[in-house]
Amino acid sequence: MGRVSRDGDSRGNAMKSGRWTGLLFVSPWLAGFLLLTAGPMLYSLYLSFTSASMLSAPVWVGADNYAAIVSEDPLFWISLTNTAYYVGVFVPLSVVLSLALAMLLRARVRGLRVFRTLFFLPSVTNVVAVAVLWLWIFNPDFGLLNSALRVFGIDGPLWMQSEEWAKPALVVMSLWGVGGMTLIFLAALQGVPAELHEAAMLDGAGAARRFFAITLPMISPSILFNTVMSLIGSFQVFTQAFVMTGTVQPGSEGGPNNATLFYVLYLYKKAFQEFRMGYASALAWILFLLTVGLTWALLRLSKSRVHYEAGHGR
Amino acid sequence: MCAVALLLGGCGGGKGGDAVTYQCGSNALEIQALERDIPAFTKRTGIGIALNPFNGDEKLYAMVAAGQEPDIFTVNNVLRDRFASEGRILDLRPFAEKDPFADRLLASARADGVSLDGGWYSVSNWAFTVGVYYNRALFAEAGIAPPDSTWTWDDMVATARRLTRDANGDGKTDRYGVFIGSHFIEAFEQMNHAPLPREALFLSLSPEARDVYVRYLALMQDGLMPDTRRVQAMGMQAPQMLENGTVAMLVEAVPNTNLFETLTIDWALAPLPRFAGKAPRYFRSHSGGLAISARTRHPQRAWEALKWIVSGASVYQPNPVLRDADFAGGWERKHARLAATGFRDVWRLAEQQEGGDPRYFVRFSSFTMAPILERFQPLLDRLWSRSIGIDELAAAVPGINARVAKDLENTLATSAMKPVFRDALRRQLAGQRPADGK
Amino acid sequence: MADRHESAQPAWIAVLRASGVYLLLLGASALFAVPVLWMFSSSLQDLAGVYRQPFAWVPSVAHWENYARAVTLLPFARFLANTAFITVLNVLFTVASCTLVAYGFARFSFPGRDLLFSICLGTMMLPGHVTMIPMYIVYAKLGWVDSFAPLIVPSLFGSPFSIFLLRQFFLTIPRDCDEAALLDGAGRLRVLWSVILPQAKPALATVVIFAFIGSWNDFFGPLVYINSPERATLTLGLNMLKSQVLGSGTVEWNVLMAASLLVLLPNIVLFFFAQKHFLRGMNIGAYRA
């Protein structure tokens, strides 16, 4: 499978004829990018080199914003560390958990559709409307989580009000929404041909062996997809922290003691509470570069491990 | 593709070019009430009002940036000063000069809308004070007389001590004497005569303010009050603690519809306790106000509409910013039980005093509030978790102020402020810069 | 696990395994269903019930009238029609445009393809907060503010998320089939339609579900671009129940939860029925008895 090049050029004439046709096919996206997306992106890049407040005309300041962020802004480093923690914990956990759920949700049992729907529920429930639910779940005294822990004789932590536990609490809250990733894995698992498993079974491969030798390689494009999307999403984690810490009391977003001050939340505060749009834009572009770098590394690393074209060459 | 786009574009667009657009609140009942009232106003004055109830900070900035903001919109103090300094909202003084309406506003409401240049840029549309809600049955049971305006902090602590109890002796408190959300500390700073200069550019922890923090921490240390971190102060948790008897006294905003509508216990209201030997400083807090866009095509009509919103639209009446409105009476009619709770007395005390708004959000200058709180709030979090003490908090103040000064100089150097604002801010900076600031 | 042939297992092992799976499913799905159970229970409480401690999962009196209040407090039908209109167009446009673009990225070699694809991914990596205002200005210049256009037109150009997703799936489909079809003289669109798409049904169903959910539950888009109450969507309606009259209102959480459940319902129905595209191939895997 891996031997086959993805590049159409190595194929016969039929493929070669598609040189400009391909561009035609991607033109809807290209048009949208050029007409709608590129302008605002480039404008924010320009703003990052200016002292733009929210509304006033931007004044060119060169790389001052970037220099100030890196050299004299402790909150930049704090928020970056918080986000790195979230990325480091959430991305692997979300991929593993959603894959495990997808495997589980292929079991041949009665009411499978209902089960799948139940797992998907948190992903369609409005996060703002259920913030009140999560505040209740994490409530130190009468919350669901600590009540459950109390059954086992454990005195649970303060969760959202504790410097140590606020980030893990938000990870738990986010993990609960892995239904979307599970769905993608379910779709990918449909593409694993049954014959492969049957052949391997005849060769005496056990379930674990078949999972690692057949299933994983066959769905590796989806694993890559989910990992990349989880990475991009985690770098921009915002809403959970915003709704969960902002409703505790006024001005408490990102607390306690900056424990949940994620990068984009900090950027948001700079842009919309301090009106420093130039500075916030510089923050955004630093995050952009970090995300690009990590995604690129991930794609490079995965190159030899991701198998496209299922069943080809057999 | 383009045809579809045009079609979709065509079915939108601004409506009623002559109507004054008003960015009202998003509440369903508020919208319904306004839609019910507007036709009569339009019939009387010939001025139409189009509602835009979908708002958020980001949206407002985007609208302003695109030159499409509503004629009338709500601003908080920070936005008001920013917009005023860039000439984006109208100075209302020219309207007020020839209109008796301005005299109907309480002085504090009027003062709240004034910006650095002395211009009047926003009209308050709401006010509240802070009081002590208490469980009257528990007071009676313990033989404690209802508190009045003469009671002191020490009286409150003594009362809390008598009401705190561990009923089953398991070492866990079942009922706390009192709960004060940490965002109400500012109110007690005011009662303790901490100097709260309007438009303070810098953070200061006066001895009076530190005294309040020490007392607040003591309430928790002595087990008279639940750990402030355990109680979600916003929302309904604190009110529920009063309802189910977990606390006997609760410091909260007055009026507070949540409490009025959900409490089923026998409750009453007391004014904030005073500090021994000091005259009380009750106050009203104003929550921002309505401003008129400088780009409005019909300023006079917008002013008429604004006046009607504040003084005529039923959903905002009786409006606490109006001298001639019977606010306490109106609320007693809305909520029958209020008459027996002391609400009227607490409100009257607040009305008689013109004590300034003590909230952090208001008492710091709009141009330094965010930089101050960004650095101060984490320290408060650490104070509540007792990883620092009050002395360390105080020791951090000069460092915070040095950074704030730097940010402010940055703002002065780069933002598109009108000269009169820039000069006023420079004068403030020269007068207030702390000695140990940079 | 080490059985050589699962079909040779004794029946009791299969039963044991099946019941183990069942228990696992039941436990895990209970965990995931908590939010909606809680919302449902809250939607039947009185005003303070949402916050009552301890929470009463079964309220002593079921306040079904909360649902009636949710529907009458808001012009529900109007909001529903608006939301449905926006969502249906979004789903159609997204599926159409993303299929074409993903096919282009997956099956063609053209100058700058990899760079363009990287840019496509890159557009997701800049936080929207800094592009939102220039974006708004663009729509304002086009005269599209307070219309549905800013909420629909972008889907004509495809979403990077769905393009990436479909590309990943298209790449797993063997090229032999398209090549055979091309040699038979089929055009590119024909190959896409009759060779690729039938094999990518689960992926298409996934894109439909994501596009639907994204559009139906979008709050920020309508919040920013819609001004007139008569053009509001259901999410803006929910926000009308959540926000308070300046300083003096009460959030009727019970009514809000009732309304939230009503808004949630179409998502559940869609997901329940879209699943038939995920059921094929069920007979493989570890649990075959």
Mean pLDDT of B99-113: 89
Q: Which residues of chain C have pLDDT under 50?
A: 1-6, 281-289
Q: Is there a contact between B251 and B202 (Cβ–Cβ < 8 Å)?
A: no
- C218 vs B contacts (CB less than 8 Å): none
What is the reported pLDDT for A186? 92
Mean pLDDT of A128-136: 78
Contact B416 A57 (CB under 8 A): yes
What is the reported pLDDT for C3? 42
- Answer whether residue B2 shows pLDDT above 70: no
Say whether A230 sits in a helix, a strand or coil. Answer: helix
From B384, B385, B414, residue closest to A51, measured CB to CB: B414
- Answer whether residue B389 shows pLDDT above 90: yes
Between CA B293 and CA B73 the distance in angstroms is: 8
Angle at Cα B117 formed by Cα B114 and Cα B118, nearest 5°?
45
Average pLDDT, chain A: 86
Average pLDDT, chain C: 87
Q: What is the CB-side half-sphere exposure of residue B435 using CA atoms within 13 A? A: 0
For the stretch C130-144, pLDDT in tens is 999 999 999 999 999
B247 domain residue, yes or no: yes
- Answer whether residue B12 shows pLDDT above 60: no
Q: Is there a contact between B23 and B68 (Cβ–Cβ < 8 Å)?
A: no
What is the reported pLDDT for B187? 93
- Answer whether residue A8 shows pLDDT above 70: no
Q: Phi/psi of residue B89, each to 5°?
A: -130, 155
pLDDT category of residue A287 using cuts at 50, 70 and 90? very high
Q: Which residue of B has its CA nearest to C237?
A: B28
Q: Which residue of C has its CA nearest to B261?
A: C250
Beta partners for residue B50, in sequence order: B21
Between CA C278 and CA B420 the distance in angstroms is: 67
Average pLDDT, chain B: 89
For the stretch A248-276, pLDDT in tens is 666 788 889 999 999 999 999 999 888 88
CA of C197 to nearest chain B CA: how many angstroms apart? 23
Q: Phi/psi of residue B428, each to 5°?
A: -60, -40
For the stretch B194-220, pLDDT in tens is 988 778 999 999 999 999 999 999 999
In chain A, what are the domains?
1-47 (no CATH), 64-302 (1.10.3720.10)
CA of C129 to nearest chain B CA: how many angstroms apart? 8
Residues B66, B150: one domain?
no
Residues B195, B157: one domain?
yes
pLDDT category of residue A312 using cuts at 50, 70 and 90? very low
What is the reported pLDDT for A134? 86
Residues B119, B136: one domain?
no
Between CA A285 and CA B419 the distance in angstroms is: 33
What is the reported pLDDT for B358? 81
Angle at Cα C135 formed by Cα C130 and Cα C138, nearest 5°?
150
Of B1 and C142, the structure prediction assigns the larger pLDDT to C142
pLDDT category of residue A128 using cuts at 50, 70 and 90? low
Whole-number Cα distances in Å, B89 to B72, B81, B301: 9, 9, 15
Domain that residue B174 falls in: 128-271
Between CA A94 and CA A178 the distance in angstroms is: 6
B177 domain residue, yes or no: yes
For the stretch B123-171, pLDDT in tens is 999 899 999 999 999 999 999 999 999 999 999 999 999 999 988 888 8
Residues B230, B263: one domain?
yes
pLDDT category of residue B11 using cuts at 50, 70 and 90? very low
- Answer whether residue A54 shows pLDDT above 80: no
- Answer whether residue B8 shows pLDDT above 60: no
Beta partners for residue B179, in sequence order: B250
Residues B302, B394: one domain?
no
Those residues whose C-beta lies under 8 Å from the C-beta of residue B316, and which sit 6 or more positions away, are B125, B126, B309, B310, C245, C246
From B8, B27, B54, residue closest to C147, measured CB to CB: B8
How many Cβ atoms sit within 10 Å of the Cβ of residue A42? 12
B7 domain residue, yes or no: no
- Answer whether residue B416 shows pLDDT above 90: no
CATH number, position B213: 3.40.190.10
Residues B136, B122: one domain?
no
Highest average pLDDT, of A251-265, B28-42, B406-420, comes from B28-42
A–B: how many Cβ contacts below 8 A?
A: 90
Between CA A233 and CA A222 the distance in angstroms is: 16
CA of C278 to nearest chain A CA: how many angstroms apart? 6
For the stretch C18-49, pLDDT in tens is 788 888 888 888 888 887 888 899 899 988 77
User: How many domains is chain B partitioned into structurally?
Assistant: 3
Buried b (16+ CB within 10 A) or exposed e, A182-193: bbbbbbbbbbbe
What is the reported pLDDT for A52? 85
What is the reported pLDDT for C186? 84
Residues of chain C with CATH 1.10.3720.10: 74-243
For the stretch A199-255, pLDDT in tens is 888 888 888 888 998 899 989 999 999 999 999 999 999 988 988 887 666 678 888
Residues B92, B133: one domain?
no
Residues B201, B177: one domain?
yes
- Answer whether residue B83 shows pLDDT above 90: yes
For the stretch A237-247, pLDDT in tens is 998 898 888 76
Between CA C81 and CA B121 the distance in angstroms is: 40
Q: What percent of chain A has pLDDT over 70?
A: 89
Query: If you write DSSP's letter for every residue of A25-53 in order, what string do you get?
Result: HHHHHHHHIIIIIHHHHHHHHHHTTB---
Between CA A173 and CA C34 the distance in angstroms is: 12
Q: Is there a contact between C250 and B261 (Cβ–Cβ < 8 Å)?
A: yes
Residues B121, B164: one domain?
no
pLDDT category of residue A307 using cuts at 50, 70 and 90? confident
How many Cβ atoms sit within 10 Å of the Cβ of residue C183? 11
Residues B113, B133: one domain?
no
Mean pLDDT of A36-50: 95
Contact A33 C101 (CB under 8 A): no
B332 domain residue, yes or no: no
Between CA A283 and CA B310 the distance in angstroms is: 41
Contact A255 B377 (CB under 8 A): yes
B402 domain residue, yes or no: yes
B341 domain residue, yes or no: no
What is the reported pLDDT for A14? 44
- Domain spanning C74-243 has what CATH number? 1.10.3720.10
Q: Which residue of A has its CA nearest to C181?
A: A14
> Which ipTM did the prediction report?
0.90
pLDDT category of residue B240 using cuts at 50, 70 and 90? confident
Residues B168, B265: one domain?
yes
Residues B120, B86: one domain?
yes
User: What's this model's pTM, rounded to 2 decimal places?
Assistant: 0.92
**Helices B419-432 and B77-85, axial angle in degrees (round to 10):** 120
Q: Phi/psi of residue B131, each to 5°?
A: -145, 180
B206 domain residue, yes or no: yes
Contact A55 B381 (CB under 8 A): no
Which residues numbered 250-279 in A keep a CB inside 8 Å of some CB on C?
Answer: 264, 267-268, 271-272, 277
Between CA C138 and CA C147 the distance in angstroms is: 14
B8 domain residue, yes or no: no
- Counted residue by residue, chain B has a size of 438
Contact C5 A201 (CB under 8 A): yes
For the stretch C207-237, pLDDT in tens is 999 999 999 999 999 999 999 999 999 999 9
Q: Is there a contact between B390 and B210 (Cβ–Cβ < 8 Å)?
A: yes
Mean pLDDT of B321-330: 92
Q: Mean pLDDT check: name the lowest of A21-30, B270-279, C194-203.
A: C194-203
What is the reported pLDDT for C18? 78
pLDDT category of residue B56 using cuts at 50, 70 and 90? confident
In this structure, what DSSP letter does residue A262 have?
A: -
Report CA torsion sign: A165, A171, A174, A176: negative
Q: Which residue of B has its CA nearest to C72?
A: B28
pLDDT category of residue A311 using cuts at 50, 70 and 90? very low
